[in-house]
Amino acid sequence: MQVHWRITPFHELSSKVLYDILQLRSEVFVVEQNCVYLDADGKDEHALHLYGLLDTTIVAYARLLPQGISYDNYCSIGRVVSNLKYRKHGFGKQLMHAAIQACNTHFQHIPIKIGAQQYLQHFYESFGFVVASDMYLEDGIPHITMVLH
């Protein structure tokens, strides 16, 4: 399966792609993880939106934020999500490789900070992220802060 990766600023997203992104984020973070939270946090309009398309289906997505939006001295990768129907195909790994590369390209190699769900610690460590905080609860889900220099 050949995924086509796109990176798009908010103002260039088509209404269809934006709808599909928000639907995927809701399917996973709200429904699958049974977590009620406000996804529309005002940061999307500042972000680059990285998504993988298989035909017209988004199979993986991440939001890339420049320095100063989530963290003062770091850019950030967030809302990392894989489509439930396409898990176990390696798209999450492809997504993270593309996200790190895009951050380095678009944000001038600024260190990257993420708020990771704790159960994904080893996944993010495989890309070079290191734990930078104790566990904390965010929306009732255990998280840790991780950094990539």
pLDDT tens digits, residue range 7-20? 999 999 999 999 99
User: Would you call 63 helix, strand, or coil by DSSP?
Assistant: strand
Give the model confidence (pLDDT) of 20-51 as tens digits: 999 999 999 999 998 888 999 999 999 999 99
Identify which of 100, 80, 92 has the alpha carbon closest to the alpha carbon of residue 3: 92
CB 60 within 8 A of CB 112: no
DSSP strand pairing (112-117 vs 75-82):
parallel
CATH superfamily of 4-148: Gcn5-related N-acetyltransferase (GNAT) (3.40.630.30)
Give tens-digit pLDDT for 68-107. 999 999 999 999 999 999 999 999 999 999 999 999 999 9
Q: Which helix (H) or strand (E) holds 99?
A: helix 91-106
Residue 76: beta bridge partners? 65, 113
pLDDT of the residue at 23: 97
Spans of all domains in the chain: 4-148
Judged against a pLDDT cut of 90, whether residue 1 lies above it is answered with: no
**Which pLDDT band, with edges at 50, 70 and 90, does 121 fall under?**
very high
